[in-house]
Structure 1
Amino acid sequence: MARIELRHATIRIKDGLAGTATINEATPAAGDTDLDIDTVVLNSDDTDLVPIGARFTIDGSTGGTVHTVTARTPAGAGPTTNIEFTPAIPTGDVPTMGDGITFLPQQIDVKVGDGNLTYTENKEYEYELDRGSLDTVREGDEVPMDVNLDFVYEFVTTGTGESITPVDAIKGKGGAAEWVSSSADPCEPFAVDIEVEHVPPCGGAQLERTIFPDFRPDTLEFDLDEATISATGRCNAIEPTVSREDQS
């Protein structure tokens, strides 16, 4: 069985956006790149404002197409009544008035370059003695998982019309100001999920998806000469969530 190779893996930073809406358009058609919507309910601070960059599926879609929002109306405040998106509605999979929309986490792909992702699972044990001799072992307190992500230093913050930078995504600022924390507790500091999708090139092998939940950086190290940024931090979990699935 082949070893994992970074060139066959995609690393993503994802937020915690979730929610629903309803199509409020009488005759959607194949090729449409916008839809009128209503009854928007999101887990964001502005619960009826659809973020630019939000991903969604249309309930009942046979192809399972994931669309990404590129514009909204009104532009600056909720409730959102129309969304523009890509890709267009496919032929043979056209929704109808009243169909539901399910919003998915926003995400960006991270350009790693010569960087890497490493993580460490930590365990704490207490060794009990009996009159000076080792006797038994107890499991100590849970210890958060350490994660280090090195990626290409292009820009720190997002420019007009540009893709969101990893630094903005990790901080939930700038171009990612409308991102939602991945933490289930809104009172906790902002966090993101880091996902690694490894797709082996050999035919028939299942892909592996590894998710590092609720990551928060303790340090961000910027190296202008090497054009790299290193994010070192911890997850509010003792180990990643790992799953295997057939390649599509």
Structure 2
Amino acid sequence: MAVARGGRFLLRIEDIDGTRSRAEHVGAILADLAWLGLAWEGPVFQSQRLALYDDALATLTARGLLYPCFCTRADIAAATLSAPHDTTPPYPGTCRHLPAAEVAARLDRPHCWRLDMAAAVAVAGPLEWHDVSAGRVAADPLSHGDVILARKDAPASYHLAVTVDDAAQGVTDIVRGADLFDATHVHRLLQALLALPTPAYHHHPLLMGPDGRRLAKRDGAPTLAAMREDGKDGRALADRLRRDILSYGFSDANT
């Protein structure tokens, strides 16, 4: 699509999770893409762009839209277990209105920074975004609750980092899997709060296994590296996928 439009195809390595990112993973990504016959600009590494995320967090903090959260996973699970299932947000807001003195006394403890979603939505007002398949979509970030935007082991969440990077890199079209469709509601809100442009979105169907589940390494799905080592033709595979010709035993999420 980028080539057809006279555009650029950008590669970004999302490596700010220091507990999971490894240099060998980057090499594997580059080898997979080259095997498929793709050419790209970059890559850009998120680990080298932390100042941009700090600036975005500072902007949201100055607007009173972030708060520190000291809850553990066990705390959150216990709090949501007792709430009505049809009204439980992803995070119950336990730390949202802690007294300032209590917050100051706890800041030396492990914590993350959450977006006060209700306050953010009130500031931004009604929003929408465009998906090539779904058309105009009314943004509904409230359904995500108070999402985490930063924590000790990750200086920016996926939501924050990709939103900031898309704008900084001048991205006009985002192509990604349908499993990230709902995340766009949060990204659209962050774009509004940070005065960033909104790209067009293309959420494509996912490849599914014979059991109807999304292909994943944890389920033993074949990796591109395994196919490459087995002598398969990556460019031919990419060409078949462009023409919606799937390998035997696989389907897409729309069928």
Q: TM-score, with normalisation over the residues of structure 2?
A: 0.23
Between structure 1 and structure 2, the one with the greater Rg is: 1
Q: TM-score, with normalisation over the residues of structure 1?
A: 0.23
Q: Which has the higher helix share?
A: 2
